[in-house]
Amino acid sequence: MTRLLQIHAQMITTGLAHNTFCASNLISFCALSDSGDINYAHFLFHQTPQPNLFIYNTMIRSSARSPSPKDSIFLYTQMRTRGISPDHYTYPFLLKACGRIEALELGKTIHGVLLKAALDSDSFVRSSLINMYTNCGSVESARRLFDKMSDFNVVSCNAMIGGYVKVGDLGSAKWLFDKMPERDLVSWSTVIAGCVQIGDSKKAMELFGEAQTLGIRVDEITLASLLSASAHLGALYQGKWFHAYIYRSCVKLDAVLGTSLIDMYSKCGGIETALTVFRLMPKKDTLAWNAIITGLAVNGYGERALQIFLEMQREGEMPDDVTFIGVLCACSHAGLLDEGLRYYESMIRFYRIKPRVEHYGCMVDLYGRAGLLVDALDFIRKLPVQPNAAIWGALLGGCFIHGNIELGEHVGRILIELEPQHSGRYVLLSNLYANANRWDDVRNIREMMKERGINKIPGRSKIEAKGMVHEFVMGDKSHPQTKEIYHKLDEMMKHLTLAGYTPDTSTVLFNLDEEEKENALGYHSEKLAIAFGLINLGPNMPIRIVKNLRVCVDCHSATKLISKIYDRRIIVRDRSRFHHFEQGYCSCKDYW
């Protein structure tokens, strides 16, 4: 831009500023280039006495992708009043703006206008129309238009696939993807992103495999989705492979891809690498800061997360609502009550961010973990919104940690009423009763679950070894290495007993006799996965496990001891956070 300002100055002195061709190019650079400046483009535009069609198109195009797409509409009205007729270049930009502000009625009107002007046969205009309709939530209109088209071009197909993906109809998206005559990288990216969005990360990986077989080289956009899939799966080695791919293929590492990498490493327990990636990023936006703050928080490094937050403020990056979710989460997990309260206040008063239900959840968690259950309840009562299940869940968590049976029972009942189909709610209440040795109540809950036909979700643990993901359920005997695994498990148990471990059977759901309970615990999926890891991973490799549920008290204390006995780092990602076990300690400081 500095260079451009010099050129502009020169143009003024030489009189070239009045030359339409030169003025157009100047505006075009400011409005469209990555190193341009949209505000300066507006400034130049206002100084132009008679902007021509090209200038209008450029300004409409630039505004359509700017943070205020409404400007495009304004510019369009202005050009019409000034008697300039829009052409087939104008409409795609204008329709993009309509889509972004979800102005369906306006979009329809423009559709009518361009029908009259007979511009609807232009393939760019058609694809833009399809995209406008899907962005405005009207997939049916998009489909009607799409069906009427005789020339099947790849862009309109992609726009249509994107429309299906937006409404979560991956079946139709995949159907069209398979049916279209030719697919380009955008087609692949769209379906891959679609899989990730509906939570089918495995399918996303499979599609990438197919693309690989066909020799398609993916770019930074596809990779961002694929890294997000790795993050969800907790597949560190898969994610690392993509990281290497980025370097190998000289893919542009922009802020979005950097954020995906940070998130992938954090969600796979590789928080040190996440930090390195973050430090090496030349341009960090709010999302990148948010990703590292949240990553540190769920990995149990609350203080580090807060340091980075302070750094963010020093560097003048504006925190948003998501930043504060990370900050509050960091405070509650690290037991920093006063800081949490202070940040919450500053979010509202200083940053003028209106708290959302997620922030309330963090606050209840903050009070609850600190043992201030009365304050937590008081906070919930004063909320301007109906508390949701997550808020009660946070309070129940606090009751559990601090052994408050009365309040816990009350909250547990509310939760079951609120989400009668959610098995975890019953399990939690039942565990609370079991902790208090109230076996009759435990049995009642079991009965209730049976009557309502609700099944407990079985615990599953995944572990990666030699490029393969292995999954275990409780008492699993399906793995080819079953014999060795159980042998190792016996050895582990012997070592544990020698180290003074006694099984904590308090949270076993069934009212079994003590010996049965111990057996049930001994074969919990994470213990099987640890045994598998000890057998198959080299002595210096940390054991990384991803669990679908929260880790139980018994497995937690057993894992701490195992990390010491076998001198092995064990990293467990459970449903809500990370546990880094090392030399008998866990990063969660036994609060989770």
Partner DNA sequence: GTAGGGTTAG
Shortest Å, Cβ 100 to DNA: 8
Shortest Å, Cβ 23 to DNA: 19
Structure token digits, residue 557 = 């204390």
Would you say 425 or 517 has its CB closer to DNA? 425
User: What is the radius of gyration, based on Cα positions, of the chain?
Assistant: 29
Strand partners of residue 65? none
Would you say 335 or 584 has its CB closer to DNA? 335
Shortest Å, Cβ 494 to DNA: 35
Shortest Å, Cβ 263 to DNA: 4
Would you say 275 or 329 has its CB closer to DNA? 329
Structure token digits, residue 538 = 């080299």
Would you say 286 or 511 has its CB closer to DNA? 286
Would you say 286 or 423 has its CB closer to DNA? 286
Q: Is 153 in contact with 127 (CB distance < 8 Å)? A: yes
Would you say 265 or 472 has its CB closer to DNA? 265
Burial of 87 (0-12, 13-18, 19+ CB in 10 A): middle
Burial of 181 (0-12, 13-18, 19+ CB in 10 A): exposed
Shortest Å, Cβ 12 to DNA: 28
Would you say 145 or 291 has its CB closer to DNA? 291
Residue 371's SS3 state is coil
Shortest Å, Cβ 300 to DNA: 12
In 3D, which of 512, 515, 506, 514 has the Cα closest to residue 555? 506
Shortest Å, Cβ 77 to DNA: 20
Would you say 160 or 496 has its CB closer to DNA? 160
Would you say 131 or 557 has its CB closer to DNA? 131
Shortest Å, Cβ 557 to DNA: 20
Would you say 161 or 496 has its CB closer to DNA? 161
Shortest Å, Cβ 489 to DNA: 30
Q: Is 92 in contact with 98 (CB distance < 8 Å)? A: no
Structure token digits, residue 384 = 């301007």
Q: What is the 3-class SS of 129-164, one letter each residue?
A: HHHHHHHCCCHHHHHHHHHHCCCCCHHHHHHHHHHH
Residue 121's SS3 state is coil
Q: What are phi and psi of 513, to 5 degrees?
A: -80, 165
Q: What are phi and psi of 374, to 5 degrees?
A: -65, -40
Q: What are phi and psi of 463, to 5 degrees?
A: -145, 140
Query: 């076990």: which residue's tokens?
Result: 581
Cα–Cα distance measured from residue 75 to residue 97, given in angstroms and rounded to the nearest whole number: 11
**Which residues lie below 8 Å from residue 171, measured CB to CB, with a gap of 6+?**
none
Q: Provide the 8-state DSSP code for 469.
A: E
Shortest Å, Cβ 132 to DNA: 8
Q: What is the 3-class SS of 185-237, one letter each residue?
A: HHHHHHHHHHHHHCCCHHHHHHHHHHHHHCCCCCCHHHHHHHHHHHHHHCCHH
Would you say 194 or 503 has its CB closer to DNA? 194
Q: Is 375 in contact with 364 (CB distance < 8 Å)? A: no
DSSP H helical ranges for 234-372: 236-248, 255-267, 271-280, 286-298, 302-314, 321-333, 337-349, 357-369
Would you say 357 or 374 has its CB closer to DNA? 357
| Burial track 13-31 (b if 16+ CB lie within 10 A, e otherwise) | eeeebeeeeebbebbbbbb
Q: Is 545 in contact with 530 (CB distance < 8 Å)? A: yes
Shortest Å, Cβ 409 to DNA: 17
| Burial track 457-490 (b if 16+ CB lie within 10 A, e otherwise) | eebbbbbbbeeeebbbbbebeeeeeeeebbebbe
Would you say 99 or 107 has its CB closer to DNA? 99
DSSP H helical ranges for 419-459: 423-435, 439-451
Shortest Å, Cβ 15 to DNA: 29
Shortest Å, Cβ 187 to DNA: 7
The DSSP element (H or E) to which 411 belongs, if any, is helix 405-418
